C-alpha cells in the first residue's frame, strides 16, 4: 500500500469496533483568492440590485458556468422579486452576466449537466417541484415533478418558509437529491438537509428511516441534522454542496448556532452512502468573514480540478442581505490514512512499539496525543539519516495508527521518531526480507 502525504488536507479514517463506526473525514484549509467579491450585486433598479444568493457553478470544458439567485429588494420584504440569472467565467474571478438575465420562470435550485443536456430542479412559491432542461442554460423547458413537498404538520420539514432542492448527483442512472427542509418560522426556523431519489428526475421518493416512527421523523428523515444544544450548527445545517469520492461523498454546508450575529459558518461532513453523514469534529472549517463581508456565509458550490478544491460562496454586508459572491481554494494533496479513537482521549503523550516487529514490508506504528499537536513521524537509518517522513501535519488529540509500507528498503534495523510539540520519542524496528 502506498504511503500518502498531506499538505493542507487531513483525512482521518475511524475504524471502530462495537461502539465505533468506520468513516473517512477530511479537514480542509481554505484561502480566499481575492480580498474582494468576485461578483457584486447589480446597480440600482436592476433585477439583482439588492442581493445575490446561491451560486451554482459547473465546469464545462474550459468555461465555468454559474446560475444564481438575485433579489431586487430586502429578502424579508413580501414585494421583493427573487429571480434566476446566468453568468460565465474563464478563471472563476471575473464573471460576465448574461444579457438575457433574469431567466424567466425558473428559480434557484440544483443544476447538473447530463450528457449534452443541462438539468435543473427547483420549487415554486407553493413549494411544487419543477424539473427543467436546457441546451445552453438560458431558456428552459419545464416539467412539474412529484414526491417532494413539505411534510405534514409536525414533520421536521413541514414549513413552507424554507424548502426546496439543494444538490443533485446522477449515478448509474439514479438521481440523488439532497434538499433543504425546515420547521418553524424564519429567522428562527430549524433547517436541515433531507435526501430523495428518482429514476427519471421527475418522480421522487424521500428517504425515510424505518427505525424512526415517531414525530417529527415518522414520514421522512433528515440525513444531516442540526447540532446539539450549544453547538455551532444547532439551529441550521443546510445549503450543502456535495462531491463524490472514491469512498462515498464529501459535503460542505452552512451552519448557524442561534442567530446571524453569532456568524453563519461553513462545516464539512463525509459519508459512504449519502445518507449517514459524519461531521468533522473541528467544524466549522471556515469561521471568519472575508474582509468585505460582515455576517458569515452561505455555501454555494465546490468543484475539484487542477489540484484544488474551488468554492464559490455568499457573504453578507448585513443580516441576510447585500449578499455577494466570494471565491476560495484549498489544496487537494493526497491524504494520510490513520486511525483515531475519539472516545478515548489519552492522558499522556506516547509512541508505541510497531507491530509486527520484526516485519516483512508492512507494519503499524501507533501513537497517542493528549492534546491537538503538530506531528512529525519519520523513519531513520542506523546512521541517523532521515529516509522518509510519514506524517507532517497537525493532528487532533486521540489514538493514531499509521500503516507503513517499507517497499524499496533493504533488510535491516531502522528507527522511527515521533515529534509532537516539545515531545520527542524514538523506537527501533527491524525489517526482514
> What pLDDT score was predicted for residue 124?
78
The pLDDT, as a whole number, for residue 287 is 85
Residues 205, 147 within the same domain: yes
Q: What is the pLDDT of residue 416?
A: 96
Say how far apart CA 233 and CA 314 lie, in whole Å: 18
For residues 405 and 288, membership in a common domain is answered with no
Number of domains in the chain: 2
Query: Which of 263, 270, 260, 216 has its CA nearest to residue 240?
Result: 270
208 close to 197: Cβ distance less than 8 angstroms: no
Render the burial of 394-404: b for 16+ CB within 10 Å, e for the rest.
ebbebbbbbeb
Question: So what's the pLDDT on residue 12?
Answer: 29
User: What are the cell numbers at 365?
Assistant: 506504528
> In this structure, are 317 and 345 located in the same domain?
no
C-alpha cell recorded at residue 279: 461531521
C-alpha cell at 180: 433543504
Q: Which of 331, 365, 382 is the last residue of a domain?
A: 331
In the numeric block, the cell 424564519 is attached to 186
pLDDT at 23: 32
For the chain of 433 residues, list the mean pLDDT of each consecutive stretch of 10: 33 29 47 88 89 92 93 76 90 92 80 93 83 90 88 90 89 95 87 95 94 92 93 92 93 87 86 93 86 82 90 81 87 46 67 91 90 88 92 81 90 94 91 88
| HSE of 277, CA atoms in CB hemisphere, 13 A | 28
Q: Does residue 295 lie within any of the structural domains?
A: yes
Indicate if 229 and 283 belong to the same structural domain: yes
| 4 within a domain of the structure (yes/no) | no
Please tell me whether residues 25 and 118 are part of one structural domain.
yes
Q: Is residue 38 part of a domain?
A: yes
Tell me the C-alpha distance between 49 and 58, whole Å. Answer: 24
Unique residue bearing C-alpha cell 438539468: 119
Q: Could you tell me whether strands 205-206 and 174-183 are parallel, antiparallel, or unpaired per DSSP bridges?
A: unpaired
292, 354: one domain: no
The verdict on 281 and 132 lying in the same domain is yes
Which of 1, 4, 83 is closest to 391 using CA atoms? 4
Residues 317 and 222 in one domain: yes
pLDDT score, position 370: 87
- Within this chain, do residues 326 and 278 fall inside the same structural domain, yes or no? yes
Instruction: Measure the CA dihedral 326/240/161/290, to 10°.
Output: -20
Antiparallel, parallel or unpaired: β 117-123 and 110-114: antiparallel
- The CATH number given to whatever domain includes residue 384 is 2.60.40.1930
**Predicted local confidence at residue 255, as pLDDT:** 92
Residue written as grid cell 429514476: 199
What's the DSSP call for residue 359?
B
pTM: 0.70
What's residue 260's pLDDT? Answer: 67
Residue 396 lies in a domain: yes
Q: Are residues 325 and 364 in the same domain?
A: no
**Statement to judge: residues 221 and 198 lie in one domain:** yes
**Assigned domain for 314 exists:** yes
Helix (H, G, I), strand (E, B) or coil at 62: coil
Q: In which domain, by residue range, is 76 found?
A: 14-331
Amino acid at each position: 500500500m502506498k504511503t500518502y502525504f498531506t499538505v493542507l488536507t487531513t483525512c482521518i479514517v475511524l475504524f471502530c469496533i462495537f461502539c465505533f463506526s468506520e468513516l473517512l473525514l477530511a479537514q480542509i484549509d481554505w484561502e480566499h483568492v481575492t480580498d474582494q467579491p468576485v461578483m457584486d450585486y447589480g446597480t440600482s433598479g436592476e433585477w439583482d440590485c439588492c442581493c445575490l444568493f446561491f451560486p451554482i457553478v459547473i465546469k464545462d470544458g474550459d468555461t465555468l458556468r454559474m446560475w444564481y439567485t438575485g433579489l431586487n429588494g430586502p429578502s424579508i420584504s413580501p414585494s421583493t422579486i427573487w429571480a434566476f440569472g446566468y453568468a460565465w467565467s474563464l478563471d472563476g474571478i471575473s464573471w460576465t452576466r448574461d444579457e438575457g438575465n433574469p431567466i424567466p420562470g425558473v428559480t434557484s435550485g440544483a443544476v447538473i449537466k447530463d450528457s449534452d443536456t443541462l438539468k435543473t430542479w427547483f420549487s415554486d412559491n407553493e413549494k411544487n417541484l419543477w424539473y427543467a432542461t436546457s441546451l445552453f442554460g438560458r431558456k428552459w423547458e419545464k416539467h412539474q415533478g412529484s414526491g417532494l413537498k413539505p411534510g405534514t404538520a409536525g414533520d421536521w420539514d413541514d414549513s413552507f418558509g424554507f424548502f426546496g432542492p439543494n444538490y443533485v448527483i446522477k449515478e448509474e442512472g439514479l438521481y440523488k437529491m439532497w434538499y433543504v427542509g425546515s420547521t418553524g418560522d424564519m429567522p428562527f426556523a430549524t433547517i436541515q438537509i433531507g435526501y430523495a431519489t428518482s429514476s427519471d428526475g421527475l418522480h421522487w421518493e424521500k428517504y425515510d428511516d424505518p427505525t424512526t416512527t415517531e414525530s417529527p421523523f415518522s414520514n421522512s428523515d433528515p440525513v444531516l441534522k442540526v447540532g446539539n444544544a450549544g453547538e455551532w450548527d444547532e439551529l441550521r445545517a443546510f445549503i450543502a454542496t456535495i462531491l463524490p469520492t472514491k469512498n462515498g461523498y464529501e459535503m460542505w454546508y452552512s451552519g448557524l448556532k442561534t442567530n446571524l450575529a453569532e456568524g453563519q459558518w461553513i462545516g464539512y461532513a463525509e459519508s459512504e452512502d449519502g445518507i449517514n453523514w459524519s461531521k468533522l469534529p473541528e467544524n466549522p472549517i471556515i469561521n471568519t468573514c472575508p474582509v468585505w463581508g460582515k455576517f458569515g456565509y452561505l455555501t454555494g458550490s465546490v468543484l475539484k480540478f487542477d489540484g484544488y478544491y474551488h468554492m464559490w460562496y455568499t457573504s453578507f454586508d448585513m443580516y441576510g442581505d447585500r449578499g455577494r459572491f466570494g471565491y476560495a481554494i484549498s489544496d487537494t494533496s493526497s491524504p494520510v490514512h490513520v486511525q483515531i479513537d475519539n472516545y478515548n482521549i489519552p492522558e499522556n503523550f506516547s509512541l508505541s512499539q510497531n507491530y509486527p516487529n520484526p516485519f516483512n514490508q508492512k507494519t503499524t506504528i501507533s501513537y497517542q496525543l493528549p492534546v491537538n499537536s503538530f506531528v512529525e513521524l519519520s523513519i531513520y537509518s542506523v546512521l541517523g539519516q532521515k529516509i522518509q517522513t510519514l506524517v507532517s501535519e497537525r493532528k487532533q488529540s486521540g489514538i493514531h495508527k499509521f500503516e507503513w509500507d517499507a517497499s524499496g528498503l533493504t533488510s535491516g534495523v531502522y528507527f522511527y521518531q515521533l515529534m509532537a510539540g516539545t515531545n520527542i520519542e524514538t523506537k527501533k524496528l527491524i525489517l526482514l526480507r
